[in-house]
Amino acid sequence: MHTHVGIVGAGPAGLLLSHLLHLHGISSVVLEARTRDHIEHRVRAGVLEQGTVDILREAGVSARMDAEGKRHEGIELRFDGEPHRIPMTELTGRAITVYGQQEVVKDLVARRLDDGADIRFEVADVRIDGLTGDRPTIRFRHGATEQELSCDVIAGCDGFHGVCRPSVPAGELTVYEREYPFGWLGILAEAKPAIDELIYCLHDEGFALYSMRSDHVSRLYLQVSADEDIAAWPDERIWSELATRFRLAGSDWRPNEGPIFDKGITGMRSFVTEPMQYGRLLLAGDAVHIVPPTGAKGLNLAVNDVWIMARALDAWFNHGDDEPLHHYSRDALRRVWRAQHFSWWMTSMLHRFGDDPYELRLQIAQLNNVVESTAYATALSENYVG
């Protein structure tokens, strides 16, 4: 088999790239290790920047997002038991949309299959060869059949644990990373959200985030230690701790409770690989960078990567211009490092790194700067909405 672009990974990056290439008349084959059901129900991020929303609309895959997504024009910062709203749209003219990553994946899979796309689920034993030649090859097993796909370009959209990045010879990539001493305990609950906009909360006991997935499903997070055992957090303890951290001074306000149908602990890390390309291999999304979820940038960075990549491939395949392709890493990394800085800043401002009371007072001083200064609030808003 041969295709213009072999795409490894059917997450939002790989699927959106396949669709954008299709719009430019460029063929692709998408290979995914998991089942379709798995990728369509894997709970991930849920905050879409204005730019991501615009790209999905321009690509013609936004109908359900526009109907079901929740437009938010501000966020709340809560600390010292007091709420402070940041009016993002008033400050920037832009907004965010709350719409689950798994819903974006469902929309893209449906559209690509309707268009006759070649998406192969449950592939195994993926190997990549010939990255510095004109026809790199992806070998894989699909069912009981060994297959070989030659490509003009390979797009590695297969996540941090995928095979694409490790296929680059040692010494060709530089890795920058940081591990944080805490994680997020996240839950999905059948509970009507008690809020209209997200709440980011700093408390003596640690960070908490109040979000939602729909009018009837709440998404909440608690900062816990990096080695925390989820078994130590029965539902009653989770709701009690959420009530404590979100408590307002002089009020009995608390999150609405309901049955928890999903919970888990996610580690916090920052990770960037440079460059984001090697020979005929282009890397995107979690395969090449990870940010702490505090800034809500992971999915949005992946979308930005493949938007840049698709434009570069269009220039090359359809117009004979290879300069944008050579500059893919440079152009994508500008945004990646801005997002890394913003996610680090939000994480540092809102999480407890220990029991040092001096550090806590510095964090509160920084938060007061943000909520009292239009310049600080605008800078946060510009980065948050994208």
Kindly report the CATH number assigned to the domain that includes residue 9.
3.50.50.60
Within a domain: 59: no
User: Known catalytic residue: 41?
Assistant: no
Q: Is 297 a catalytic residue?
A: yes
**120 assigned to some structural domain:** yes
Determine what percent of the chain falls in helix, strand and coil, rounding each to the nearest 5: 40, 30, 30
Low-confidence ranges of the chain (pLDDT < 50): none
| Residue 230 resides in a domain | yes
Rounded (5°) CA angle 116-117-121: 125
* 384 flagged as catalytic: yes
Nearest residue to 15 (alpha-carbon basis) of 113, 105, 93: 105
Instruction: Report the C-alpha gap between 329 and 168 in whole angstroms.
Output: 15
pLDDT per position as a tens digit, 126-167: 999 999 999 999 999 999 999 999 999 999 999 999 999 999
Q: Where are the alpha helices (DSSP H) in the chain?
A: 12-23, 36-41, 50-58, 63-68, 88-92, 101-114, 235-246, 298-319, 323-326, 328-350, 357-372, 374-385
Q: Are residues 201 and 337 in the same domain?
A: no
What's the one-letter identity of residue 338? R
329 and 375 part of one domain: no
Buried b / exposed e over 339-371, threshold 16 CB at 10 Å, is bbebbbbbbbbbbbeeeeeeebeebeebbeebb
Which pLDDT score, from 0 to 100, does residue 214 have? 87
Answer yes or no: is 87 within a domain: no
For residue 213, the model assigns a pLDDT of 87
Catalytic residue among 210, 221, 328, 384: 384
Whether residue 209 is found in the same domain as residue 304:
no
Q: Which amino acid is at 349?
A: M
Q: Are residues 316 and 187 in the same domain?
A: no
Q: Give a yes or no: residue 75 inside a domain.
A: no
**pLDDT single digits (tens) 259-304:** 999 999 999 999 999 999 999 999 999 999 999 999 999 999 999 9
Same domain, 133 and 239: no
Number of folded domains that form the chain: 2
| Ramachandran category for residue 171: left, alpha or beta (phi over 0 → left; psi -120 to 50 → alpha) | left
Distance of CA 241 to the CA centre of its chain: 26
Q: Which of 278, 264, 254 is nearest to 326 (CA)?
A: 278
Q: Is 88 inside a domain boundary?
A: no
Q: Is residue 234 part of a domain?
A: yes
Q: Which amino acid is at 45?
A: A
Domain membership of residue 303 (yes or no) is yes
- The DSSP H or E segment spanning 78 is strand 75-79
Residues 110, 249, single domain; the answer is no
Q: What residues pair up with 85 in beta bridges, in sequence order?
A: 76
Same domain, yes or no: 113 and 255: no
Structural domain for 369, as ranges: 180-267+353-385
pLDDT of residue 347: 97
Q: Do residue 127 and residue 185 come from a single domain?
A: no
The answer to whether residues 228 and 185 touch, using CB atoms and an 8 Å cutoff, is: yes
Cα gap 324→314, rounded to integer Å: 9
Render the burial of 305-321: b for 16+ CB within 10 Å, e for the rest. Answer: bbbbbbbbbbbbbeeee
CATH code of residue 194: 3.30.9.10
Q: Which of 200, 210, 221, 278 is catalytic?
A: 200
Catalytic hit among 72, 203, 289, 351? 72
Catalytic residue among 22, 221, 293, 351: 293
**Predicted model pTM:** 0.95
Give yes or no: residues 169 and 184 share one domain: no
259 shares its domain with 219: yes
Q: Are residues 194 and 231 in the same domain?
A: yes
Regarding whether 357 and 327 lie in a shared domain, the answer is no
pLDDT score recorded for residue 227: 93
